[in-house]
Amino acid sequence: MSNNWRPATQLVHGGTLRSQFGETSEAIYLTQGFVYDTSEAAEARFKGETEGFIYARYGSPTNDMFEKRMCMLEGAEDARATASGMAAVTAAILCQVKAGDHIVAARALFGSCRWVVETLAPQYGIECTLVDGRDLANWEKAIQPNTKVFFLESPTNPTLEVVDIAGVARLANQVGAKLVVDNVFATPLFQKPLELGAHIVVYSATKHIDGQGRSLGGVVLSDKAWIDEYLHDYFRHTGPAMSPFTAWTLLKGLETLPIRVKQQTANAARIADLLADQDKIARVIYPGRADHPQADIIARQMSGGSTLVCFELKGGKAAAFALQNALEIIKISNNLGDAKSLITHPATTTHKNLTDEARAELGISGGTLRLSCGIEDTDDLVEDIVRAIGALA
Ligand SMILES: Cc1ncc(COP(=O)(O)O)c(C=O)c1O
């Protein structure tokens, strides 16, 4: 297995563990447990004296392949596959904090992620300060003597703001805290948080990694020392493990990830430019455009644009709903990263639980729509959007 492979090769061959049958496609080991030849062998396995699997909640061969492939791509030493992206986020944060500790998180987070730090963590005596993550000074001001974790996503869901990951990592290092980055929107191809100084990376594998709307999954990646010290026991004993069947679908997803993301990004870039020229659109936010408010940070930390476009219609909620309803190819759905183009109205779906004030702070208005571009023919998507915009009053 070569660590020098380029990503497209890693994603096809990385981590493969062939059985004695020499199968081409990775095998699915749908087993809960493992048998031992002797009592002594079982004892030695449990003591950690011999290598091998013990119980599928701890780890299993198909999951191991998925974790190793993700480690290769991410440049991480170790990983744990989880049942969903939220299981990954929750495990990555809660495994390393205790009552009396403090978390600093960007306020622009996916709704459930924000609930974990803003509502759940305080129930266990863990304080959280939410900041406008675009300005490093806000992160610095929020630091307390008991700050243990920094948490951010970049680009953010849905308004595609970015956070200076290297800058936040520097602050975390100054106070001995760990930076957790939710890298879902960037994809593992366009942004490498560990190289930028982050300590832990999490994914909802439900998104681009599966990319075909089939499986919920997640993954936490870091160095071996952090996983051994913090995540290992938490993961084994709280049980957020991924099903081996899911690990298999995600291995298949990883094989085609670069091809899909390339087409999705090309579609998104063309649609962002198209939307920017329309009178009925008030603003377009796209990380690949020069007019993105943080284009300088994007140039420093991302190697590609985005598969998503965020835009605001001049006519508010009524116009946003009418546009969604007029689309034929692009489907209304709150998922993203799929082969199918999907559009969502964050204010009434993914971010409906925020207060009006919190939504306004994040720039989510009634007219805001988030478009996740699929792999369809670009011209068909363009025609769908042009026709739907044309139908608006
Ligand atoms: C940025 C971000 N993080 C985490 C999640 C949670 O992932 P999952 O739905 O797989 O639990 C999502 C998606 O829903 C997301 O968009």
Domain with CATH 3.40.640.10 in the chain: 7-255
Using pLDDT thresholds of 50, 70 and 90, give the confidence band for residue 393: confident
What pLDDT is recorded for position 112? 93
Give 318-341 pLDDT, tens digit per residue. Answer: 999 999 999 999 999 999 999 999
- Cα–Cα distances in angstroms (integers) from residue 2 to residues 57, 61, 76, in the given order: 29, 20, 14
Is domain 7-255 annotated with CATH 3.40.30.10?
no
Residues of the chain with CATH 3.90.1150.10: 257-390
Ligand 1 close to Cβ of residue 216 (< 6 A): yes
| Ligand 1 binding pocket includes 184 (Cβ within 6 Å) | yes
Q: In testing the pocket of ligand 1, which one of 93, 161, 181, 206 has its CB within 8 Å of the most ligand atoms?
A: 206
Would you tell me the crossing angle of helices 244-276 and 61-74 to the nearest 10 degrees? Answer: 40
> How high does pLDDT run on average in the chain?
97
Cα 198 to ligand 1 centre (Å): 19
pLDDT of residue 1: 57
How far, in Å, is the centroid of ligand 1 from the Cα of 129? 21
Instruction: Give the number of the atom of ligand 1 that is nearest the alpha carbon of residue 185.
Output: 1
Q: Is the CB of 84 under 6 A from ligand 1?
A: yes
Residue 83 CB less than 6 A away from ligand 1 = no
Over 70: is that where the pLDDT of 2 sits? no
85 lines ligand 1 (CB under 6 A): yes
Look at residue 210 and tell me whether its pLDDT is greater than 70: yes
Write the burial class of residue 85 (CB in 10 Å: 0-12 exposed, 13-18 middle, 19+ buried).
buried
Q: In the numeric block, which tokens belong to residue 186?
A: 């960037």
Could you read off the pLDDT of 352-365 as tens digits, one per residue? Answer: 988 999 999 999 99
Confidence of residue 4 (pLDDT cuts 50, 70, 90): confident
Show the beta-strand stretches assigned E in the chain.
Answer: 78-82, 102-106, 127-131, 147-153, 178-182, 200-204, 218-222, 281-285, 308-313, 331-332, 342-344, 368-372
The CB of 129 under 6 Å from ligand 1? The reply is no
Binning pLDDT at 50, 70 and 90, where does residue 91 land?
Answer: very high
Q: Is 280's pLDDT higher than 80?
A: yes
Q: Whose CA is nearest to atom 7 of ligand 1?
A: 85
Q: Which CATH architecture has domain 257-390?
A: Alpha-Beta Complex (3.90)
pTM above 0.85, yes or no: yes
CB 143 within 8 A of CB 176: no
Question: What proportion of the chain, given as a percentage, has pLDDT over 90?
Answer: 98
Cβ–ligand 1 contact at 186 (below 6 Å): no
